[in-house]
Amino acid sequence: MGERFEFIAAPEDAGTRIDKLLSAQLSDMSRSALQKLTEDGSVLVGGKAVSKNYKLKNGDVITVDIPEPQELKAEPQDIPIDIVYEDDALLVVNKPKGMVVHPAAGNPDGTLVNALLYHCKGRLSSINGVIRPGIVHRIDKFTSGLLMVAKTDKAHNSLAAQIKEHSFTREYNAVCVGRFKEPTGTINEPIGRSKFDRKKMCVTYQNSKEAVTHYEVIEELGQYSLVRFRLETGRTHQIRVHSAFIGHPVLGDDVYGRPYKGIEGQCLHAKKLGFVHPETGEYMEFDSQLPDYFTRILDKLRKG
């Protein structure tokens, strides 16, 4: 199942070609790709297919169905990975900053999944399909830290249920821009995909899901803050979106904030992971050290 988007033509859109409007609304897709969708009948106006040069009328209801991209086949690759814990049911890995979790367009290989397939000799849960074997939850390319991987479908189902029930511990450390007025707090704002840019998420009350993030300021660093975040829910880009929403974007986040010289991407580390083991019923918790890039930023900010 792909994605569906719906737009309503405003008075100022009247007389505009539909492919021009779609290019503005779906900015991460090329105009030629949008024209092909129109030719294939995936773009409807009032429930009817139209040509790519259709001129809009005020109040036109436009729906766009974007098909699921064809899955790549992930291949095993001998890539070193930092394994914190492993048994027959699962493993916990410490992902470096800059590594993509699973293959996708633009990152067909060199991912954590490629490395896991080699290390585990294919013994990974199959629930998320051939492109995301074993992946129960994800962290972004430029977020470092702990990630849970399931080897069996039983383990995968158990861990996914714990995440859904909010009993799965996930704590992050981040350097955020600015000084917080309150040293602790909770951000309870729903998150959904931005209607202006499909690659971005945002706080929105339409087509969104509940998102709850707890925070605690660990240290003030001049005009920056070292913050501990605890996820109650796990939406895409949740910490990055929530921290930017309250006016304290994660340092270096060039999507929801601004770049920072010396690091690529956000200064965000998945530090603590806790869960009930699917086989033994024992609660297990892992804590990882802050990586070098993170400690260098802290040292720089502490020196002023």
82-86 and 90-95 strand pairing: antiparallel
299 part of the active site: no
* Measured distance CA(232)–CA(221) in Å, rounded: 26
Say which DSSP state 258 is in: -
Residues 6+ away with beta carbon under 8 Å from 176: 224, 225, 227, 243, 248, 249, 250, 251
Choosing from 13, 19, 60, 140, the catalytic residue is 140
Say which DSSP state 56 is in: P
169-177 and 224-231 strand pairing: antiparallel
Residues 6+ away with beta carbon under 8 Å from 48: none
Residues 6+ away with beta carbon under 8 Å from 146: 84, 92, 93, 94, 95, 270, 271, 272, 273, 286, 288
Other Cβ atoms within 10 Å of 226 Cβ, number: 21
- Look at the block and give the residue holding tokens 């039983």: 154
Please give the positions annotated as active site: 140
